[in-house]
Amino acid sequence: MKVGLFVTCLNDTMFPQTGQAVVRLLRRLGVDVDFPSAQTCCGQMHVNSGYVPEAIPLVRTFVDAFAGYDAVVAPSGSCAASVRHQHQIVARRSGDPALVAGVEALTPRVYELSEFLVDVLGVVDVGAYFPHRVTLHPTCHSSRLLAVGDRPERLLRAVRGITMVDLPEADECCGFGGTFALKNPDVSVAMGADKARHVRESGAEVLVAGDNSCLMHIKGLLTRQRAGVRVMHLAEILAAQEAAA
Amino acid sequence: MIVTRTFLGTPSFPVAAKAALADSQLRSNMRNATHTIRDKRARVIGELDDFEELRQGAADIKDDVMSNLGRYLEQAEEALTRAGATVHWARDAAEANQIVVDIARRHQVDEVVKVKSMATQEIELNVALEAAGIAAWETDLAELIVQLGDDLPSHILVPAIHRNRSEVREIFLREMGKVGMPAEAGLSDDPAELAGAARRHLREKFMRARVAVSGANFIVADTGTLVVVESEGNGRMCLTLPEVLISVVGIEKVVPTWTDLEVFLQLLPRSATGERMNPYTSTWTGVTPGDGPQEVHVVLIDNGRTKVLADEVGRQALRCIRCSACMNVCPVYERTGGHAYGSVYPGPIGAILTPMLRGVGVDEATDALPFASSLCGACYDVCPVAINIPEVLVHLRGKVVDSHRGGVPGALQAAMTGASWTLTRGSRLALAQRLAGLSGRVLGRRGLIGRLPAPLSRWTDARDLPAPPRESFRGWWSRTDGGRDQHGSPPTTPGSEGDRR
């Protein structure tokens, strides 16, 4: 199986350690993951901001970069959801039947990380070790748009040494919302402040999520409060092992 | 005489929301109220093992109605006329208001009693009646609180949701005597006592009024039956006691048969108030001689609905049965309250319905509404007619942006165009990342950026921003051959793994 890593533009630019963790994790599980360097961005930021025509070249780039892979794995629920729910809208807007066909063929092979691990590889225990108190923010796009259900939770519970603690009102949005964070900064921060409070109330040392965008927002508030809670992407905990931990 | 306030002049959402967020009383009232209804709804919906089938069924019925709207409306008109009702058609608010005012004038009344109705709020009927010298008394408890408090509704089902009981007590004590029976001096803020005061105040008006105005939750097309679903019995008083009944109803409210109605009567109370069955469901079919109003009018209004119907993505909003489940779960609405939306329809459904009814590209406040959402999707999850609100929000954002294309590009337009160019090729992205890595070294201390100039201050005013790393993922991949070249020197990034976001 030829597996391509769609690292996402945000992780590529801001959080390379997440992409590196996915590579380590998948190699450990016997998957020789490849990174096609033609890839850029899913185009969600453009579509969600109302700039659909501007997303057309991005979707084209995505399809061209990954068309030759049997499976594409993305460490982002939000970007995977954009591929699944928005790429066909963008392709149809382009009026290009080849792009519509390309999207239709590729989209079913694109997976969010926890989906890929549980559904495609069929593993729950990935052999990780992480002896810390952790709470999970399920993220709206993973849970509502992709319906990943308890996959992230099951993967985390199988990690040796980990202590999972409940996050109060976990299913409520953190308030990031892409350009919402800039267009409606006050509401975004009000939502994020409540999320950060719940993270502190959980007593966790580490907040984990499947999306660095949400984590960037929540961490930005936690560090302002000197809350002393780390944030980590799901891939980073699943990649962690005894020697490194 | 009460003068009804309108939403005209409300600043656009981000500005209005900022003011609302600072009101700690509002925040706590909204949090308590929305969480109470939200939890109640979740409990009783959880009892249904066929909720998904019911909501898909409801969506299908409404979609069939929208596809054959002309036929169902004509069928309803014919049945209503046969049953002795007079059917009026109104293209817009002005026409609808004129019809109601004319009927009231013909009966020489200076007051009407009203059943809570979103359609009459949408057309600002009370304002039109007041201008004609006719007082419109709201009889729903929460509408009464809003009306007496010289306030605006902030929720479609619980319009005074932003008020707590001690505020209600103050309004009753201060205002009731000015327009009718006063509240007793020793009134406490006990909910039962407050309801008692409202009951006594309203009874006088019910017994006196000769004309009533209502909306309708449904019109059953094949029998010409109107349906009002309410919880307090005030609706039934208005629908049975006066001589004349005028119902103002949106053209999308029609359902084909009573069998279809049954689906909605299961979904609506559970989704709206978290009740298994609705307390007062009134149905009437034209005029029944010797029983109830002897003159029955039905005013069918378009007021933008055919425009919504013409939008193939947006038309699903016409399925809405005004249950308000979407606002009760919305994390944005919970924090800002309803007034910030500047519309009688607030919350997620308001953020899509209002711009479509009004049209986008005309005023800033309307254009801001589709952006008043983090797209978390909680609204779609609970909608009993499966309106994909996030999908319509994104669709409308595109319409707003398109309506402003062609002029001088704004900052966001320029940024989006630039980002599109950069993100079309991996090589261009790589160059941008190297520049970002350099800037990060200038701006960031310990891997965090604390302050940036506008418009990025909208992020950094309240949140730290991670500084871009010196090496992007693609930089690392090409330098180390995907991590296989163990001799490549490790990338030096500020902060350690798991400590940068």
- B53 exposure class (CB count in 10 Å sphere: 0-12, 13-18, 19+): exposed
Which of B21, B459, B476 minimises the CB distance to A187? B21
* Domain A133-239, CATH class in plain words: alpha beta
The DSSP letter of residue A1 is -
Question: Is B498 close to A206, i.e. CB distance below 8 A?
Answer: yes
CA distance B95 to chain A (A): 35
Contact B4, B138 (CB under 8 A): no
Mean pLDDT of A129-153: 98
What was the pLDDT predicted at B5? 86
Domain residue limits, chain B: 63-306, 420-480
Q: What's domain B63-306's architecture?
A: 3-Layer(aba) Sandwich (3.40)
* Confidence band of A244 (pLDDT split at 50, 70, 90): low
Residue numbers of B between 307 and 336 with CB closer than 8 Å to A: 331-332, 335-336
Structural tokens at position B335:
């924090």
- pLDDT, one tens digit per residue, over B11-40 is 999 999 999 999 999 999 999 999 999 999
Whether residue B496 is predicted with pLDDT greater than 50 in this model: the reply is no
Q: At what angle do helices B51-67 and B258-272 cross, to 10 degrees?
A: 120
Q: Which residues of B touch A189 (CB under 8 A)?
A: 462-463
Assign B391 to helix, strand or coil. Answer: helix
Q: Is the pLDDT of residue B499 over 50?
A: no
Q: In chain B, how long is the greatest CA-to-CA distance?
A: 97
pLDDT reading at A242 higher than 90: no
pLDDT at B493: 45
Task: State yes or no: pLDDT of A124 exceeds 70.
Answer: yes
Of the CA atoms within 13 Å of residue A147, those in its CB half-sphere come to 3
Closest alpha carbon within chain A to B395? A50
With CA atoms as reference, the chain B residue closest to A142 would be: B376
Quick one: pLDDT at residue A44? Answer: 97
Q: Which chain B residues touch A217 with a CB distance below 8 Å?
A: 463
Report the candidate in A179, A199, A197, A198 with the shortest Cα–Cα distance to residue A188: A179
Q: How is chain A split into domains, by residue range?
A: 3-120, 133-239
User: Positive or negative CA dihedral for B456, B460, B463, B465?
Assistant: positive
Q: Across the interface, which of A41, A187, A212 has its CB nearest the CB of B332?
A: A187
Cα–Cα dist B498/B501, whole Å: 8
- Please compute, for residue A20, the number of CA atoms within 13 A of its CA located in the half-sphere on the CB side: 23
Is the model's pLDDT at A49 over the cut of 50? yes
Is pLDDT of B494 > 50?
A: no
Question: Considering chain B, what percentage of its residues have pLDDT values greater than 70?
Answer: 96
DSSP character string of A32-97: --B--TT-----HHHHHTT-HHHHHHHHHHHHHHHTT-SEEEES-HHHHHHHHHHHHHHHHHHT-H
CA distance B422 to B425: 7
Complete DSSP assignment for A166-235: PPTTTTS--S-TTTHHHHSHHHHHHHHHHHHHHHHHHT-SEEEES-HHHHHHHHHHHHHTT---EEEEHH
Residue of A nearest to B447 (CA): A14
**Sorting pLDDT into bands at 50, 70 and 90, what band is B451?**
confident
Residues B313-333 have a mean pLDDT of 98
Contact A234, A156 (CB under 8 A): yes
Cβ contact, residue pair B473, A11, below 8 Å: yes
Query: Treating both helix axes as pointing N-terminal to C-terminal, what angle do A97-106 and A52-66 enclose, rounded to 10 degrees?
Result: 60
What is the model's pLDDT at position B490? 53
Taking contacts as CB-CB distances below 8 angstroms, the residues of chain A near B329 are none
